[in-house]
Chain A
Amino acid sequence: MILRPRRDDHAIVGKYLGKIIVGIGLLMVVPLVTSLVFAEWDTALDFVIGMGACFVFGFGLQVICRTEKDLKWSHGLVVASGSWIAATVLGAIPHWLSGHEGSYLDAMFDIMSGYTTTGLYLIQDLDHISYGLNMWRHVLTYVGGQGIVVIALTFLVKGTAGAYKLYVGEGKDERLLPNVIGTARAIWLVSLTWLAIGTMALAATGLMLGQEPVRALLHSLWVFMGAWSTGGFAPQSYNTMWFHSATYEIICTVIFIAGSFNFALHWAVWQGDRRELRRNIEILSFTATAFITVSVATFGLAHLGIYPDAVNLFRKAFYQVLSGHTTTGFSTIYSRAFVTQWGPVAMLATTVAMAIGASACSTGGGIKGIRIGVLTKAYIQDVRRMISPDSAVVQERYHHIRDIVLEDRIVLTAFTITLAYVTAYAVLTVLGVLFGYDFTAAAFEGVSAASNTGLSCGITAPDMPNLLKWAYIVAMWMGRLEFMSVLALFGHFYAILRGKS
């Protein structure tokens, strides 16, 4: 029997939603200060309006929804998924006011793409936007990578038992430390340390490549944020092709591979356990699938003879496919070049890499390496059982921070989520084909959206059908939260309408 939520349930959800939206408002201080520093007055006003709207909504909810009760599981899931919607609607205000978006839907598309670290964009004339707006694009993708809820847990929510439910609701379930607030702060410690090192490395390279100091610094910060969060936003429309540099590509690759790793893995290495890098199932799974997909793409491109020599061929295939595999979305080729140069084999290899995606509890999206690893182990276990004597006990194990016995419930969970992703990929592909796009292109773009990658083969553009924009927005949202929180939100609305009192 489904029970209709009571007034207290709404109050709890509203209270925490309000806190998270206040956090989004406070976040706008960063682009606001950037605009002030560069005397971009009109852009600064866009952020003042956006910030004010967040505060009115956030504090307003806290006024209306006053309660001292703590979160239950269902509340945590609803708050986590609902906060991403509210943050998208309100976070789109500065984009819309900038005049660079074709509609409010386009603005929301870009914001959802940023928060979910997807990287597809509809903003027009990116090469002429203000520093403030560019800062906002990258800050929201950086924050989205750690999780909107994680930032709220770190700064705004006091250590309640319910905090863990919010954290899990955002698609993360690793406890780096016994206390979930401590875990959220540990995630920030890891991210900020990488931010400092990565930005310095990119800035120094940018200066050597001939960039002016201010541009080198800002570009390095933004490219770092795009890489670490596996977001794929870049300050110029040329993406990372702008730099025409193997060194810049190598540094970006190191950062986005690191960003695609599980925060628990980072924490284990941080604590001195370097063996984890060799033993972790996600690393092994990523290495295997990356090797296969890069090899197939390289083979496909070699067959077409596009690139003049083996070094250039491998450099292009390696960067694009790994960028897709880590769900980053950086590219050093034009979007349309996937269709006009790469051809179906390399495109399909990239599509498969994007579909598999990054690690669980990371900044990335997709099915995730751990599920591919678990399902592979399950198949191996079944085959071993088939060929073993009836009396033999066959039990597979895998290593993820600790040794874990492969139980049926683990396999079932991995299978359920994998099936949800595959369904989302299929739905978006069919939708793209129905709108008249080529199958390979529709699959490439659909998988890119649902796996939060952001590589585009040219479908994502301001003149694409509005229904497809909506479908991609929903897919980015569901893919980032790994479906369960979103389904809980739908269930919440269903209970309001049809539940028993």
Chain B
Amino acid sequence: MRRAVWMTLFLALLLSVPAFAMAEEHTVSPHIPLSENSPSSTELVELPDIFDGTTVVYRGEVIGEAMVRGNWAWLHLNDDAYMERNIEEGAPLGGLNSGMPVWVPAPEVAQIGVFGDYRHEGDIVEVRGVFNAACAEHGGDMDIHAVHLTVIRAGREVDDPVSNGKLWTAIVVILAAAGVYLLDRNLDRIREWLAR
């Protein structure tokens, strides 16, 4: 266990070196508002009977990846509070994610340049398709079947800069942990020494 603790402390201190180099000020791209979806994914989930089988125009940030299955592909489009800017870029907290799976022809996926994740704000795309409250083709999943998609806004890389405050806190906490660890290991010796 002793070796594991020392290795961990060493690893943590090593980490501080590149983290120092990464420390910089937070920058955010200009905010360009996009029109809200009508219906939104929340409305589709709340009122599935009303929209079932209707053609909807739906817009959202492409998340994660495109999963190509033969001539078609799955996309997941989020139309939540983070579709234009995510928390790492300074967006305010806006609740849990919400979005809708979209089934599109595989060649359409080639238009997508960026998928949303920790390091990226994904492309915002618009699809026109049929909403299925319980899709017969896809195991009863709620989805939209679209035949075409349009990229409304290209995605981008997202920077998550290291804050200096966090860096110094890490160093102080690790040094304190090393100190307490050494004290724990040598307490009996220290007591003997003091007793003499």
Q: Which residues of A contact B (CB under 8 A)?
A: 22, 25-26, 29, 32-33, 36, 40-46, 48-49, 51-53, 55-56, 59-60, 62-63, 66, 97, 99-100, 102, 122, 124-131, 155-156, 209-212, 215, 236-238, 241-244, 246, 306-309, 312-313, 315-316, 332-334, 336-337, 340-341, 461-463
User: How far, in angstroms, from A289 to B88 measured CA to CA in the complex?
Assistant: 46
Majority DSSP secondary structure for residues of B touching A: mixed
- Top 8 nearest A-B pairs (CB, nearest first) are A52-B173, A210-B67, A55-B177, A237-B97, A312-B140, A308-B136, A59-B180, A128-B86
- Please tell me which one of the listed residues A25, A33, A102 contacts residue B93 in the complex, with CB atoms under 8 A apart: A102
Residue of A nearest to B41 (CB): A334
- Please tell me which one of the listed residues B94, B138, B158 contacts residue A244 in the complex, with CB atoms under 8 A apart: B138
**CB within 8 Å for A125 and B66 given contacts A52-B12, A337-B45:** no
* Interchain CB contact under 8 A, B69 and A210: yes
Residue of B nearest to A316 (CB): B140
A-B contacts at CB below 8 angstroms, number = 210
**CB within 8 Å for A127 and B63 given contacts A42-B162, A52-B177, A62-B184:** yes
B86 / chain A contacts, CB cutoff of 8 Å: 125, 128
Given contacts A62-B184, A131-B118, A340-B48, 8 further A-B contacts (CB under 8 A): A52-B174, A99-B88, A210-B65, A211-B65, A236-B63, A237-B96, A242-B64, A306-B140
A332 / chain B contacts, CB cutoff of 8 Å: 139, 141
* Interchain CB contact under 8 A, A336 and B87: no
Point out which of A46, A102, A127 has the most chain B C-beta atoms below 10 A from its C-beta.
A127
Kindly supply a per-residue 1/0 record for chain B positions 19-56, scoring 1 wherever the CB is within 8 Å of any chain A CB and 0 otherwise.
10010000000000000000000000111100000000
* Interchain CB contact under 8 A, B169 and A49: yes
B166 / chain A contacts, CB cutoff of 8 Å: 42, 45-46, 49, 97
* Interchain CB contact under 8 A, B116 and A127: yes
* Interchain CB contact under 8 A, B65 and A45: no
Majority DSSP secondary structure for residues of A touching B: helix
A32 / chain B contacts, CB cutoff of 8 Å: 11-12, 15
Chain B interface, number of residues (Cβ within 8 angstroms):
73
**B8: CB under 8 A from chain A?**
yes
Residue of A nearest to B67 (CB): A210
**CB within 8 Å for A56 and B177 given contacts A45-B15, A244-B74, A337-B48:** yes
- Please tell me which one of the listed residues B8, B88, B173 contacts residue A128 in the complex, with CB atoms under 8 A apart: B88
* Interchain CB contact under 8 A, B180 and A56: yes
**B117: CB under 8 A from chain A?**
yes
User: How far, in angstroms, from A14 to B48 measured CA to CA in the complex?
Assistant: 54
26 pairs from A and B in contact (CB 8 Å cutoff)? A25-B177, A36-B15, A51-B8, A52-B176, A55-B9, A56-B176, A59-B184, A124-B87, A125-B94, A126-B96, A126-B97, A127-B78, A127-B82, A127-B97, A127-B116, A155-B1, A209-B69, A211-B67, A238-B99, A242-B64, A306-B140, A307-B140, A313-B140, A316-B134, A337-B48, A462-B93
A309 / chain B contacts, CB cutoff of 8 Å: 136
**B152: CB under 8 A from chain A?**
no
B130-189, CB < 8 A from A: 133-136, 138-142, 158, 160-163, 166-167, 169-170, 173-174, 176-177, 180-181, 183-184, 187
* Interchain CB contact under 8 A, A29 and B73: no
Residue of B nearest to A312 (CB): B140
